[in-house]
A and B are shown apart, each in its own frame.
Chain A
Amino acid sequence: MSNQIASVSKEEKKLVFGKPDALNDEKFSYCPGCHHGIINRLIAEAIDELGIRETTVGTAPVGCSVFLYEWFDIDVVQPAHGRVSAVATGMKRARPDLTVFAYQGDGDFASIGTNNSVHAANRGENITVFFINNTLYGMTGGEMAPTTLIDQKTTTTPGGRKAEDFGYPIKMSEMLSKLDGPTYITRQAVYDVKTIKRAKKAIKKGFRNQLEGKGYSLIEFLSACPINWGLDPVEAIDRIKEEVEQVYPLGDILDRTAGEKE
């Protein structure tokens, strides 16, 4: 049977689904059930659909995010932990014709990088920021992140996060929406067809804002880290729906282009 299929010539087959050009042929090495893979792919598809592969430069710093340069077929810069917003600012100011995107985890965007993140948003830098929120530090061993939920166990909150010791899960997207600088802030997820479709729309909007010179776009993703959560991939999705979304609701938080024609 398989021999018959293999003998059909290539020209007769019509490719209906394949890897985006913005991704190279390397295999992702993300853990089973990690959502980085889905998000990476959606970003690559958006880049393809907008035809900007050759004029797009990504920045991804530290943690599981750092591997972006391994699979994207675009230029990538790897800054120090937390400094992505500053580096992206430098890149965009020097070459406004390039499309610059940032790809950061919770530690990068909301802990060590808060200073730079806030100010890039405040200045309304014309960049697109992808903030991957998995409520802990993955690569270094499952430590608490600013986004860790109350009572969540991590390797530095072995008894569960207590507000009186370590404060509350920080809501960066909501915080930044209070500034006059940013243009578009939204929170998405990628755990089923519906959320994936919405996430992709948001990503494209974030890129289009930049291409049209409309300013700072932030797309936060609720993402799964099954290994460090101690859950299997399906349980991890349930956790996002039942626990994480209660603290970090999905949807648009700020859209200063609302009402304009797309």
Chain B
Amino acid sequence: MKHRWITDRGLWLESRACTLGLKQKIEAAALPEVEAVVPGDGSLLVVLQPGQGAGPVLLDLINKAQPDASLEVLGRHHEIPVIYGGDAGPDLERVADAAGLTTSQAVELHAGAQYRVAFLGFQPGFAYLAGTPTPLQTARRSAPRARVPAGSVALGGMYTGIYPGTSPGGWLLIGRTREWVFDPLRKPPARFTPGDHVRFVPR
């Protein structure tokens, strides 16, 4: 696999389907020059310690990686109780309408799917959950809301996400959970890690 650079510290790989598997392989190798391995949507950023180059083991892992190979991915399992619709999910009707479903069918479809944490970003603890059923995949709001309540379960493009804290946001809000998502004083601080599985349970 060819690599490119994001600044002189980040070795960038177009890792596609093998992103999470390759991430876990590089982490398991516990290489001294690697500071962090950060997945994106189909890409992987290997952050090197300042002043370090990529060593032979890392280069070998990268050269041998097949972007379309599905490697084993380890992860924990989370069940997240959600109150769908109403004040908790003001966009549920709009999402259901666009999919040609009733709101209860849309909830059933969303809660029936298994999700995988693809990567985190946007703000601390915000996980991009892959696995949103196609009929529920929607465009984002053209104008973001100034204030999305913490715990909001939301749809954005191919992904489902849970807002860890109250913040502005452009995704469509379909429900809310009271579960913690990010807390800097906990260990680990983020509920979700790339590779984890998530199911939503209607309440």
Q: Do A and B bind?
A: no
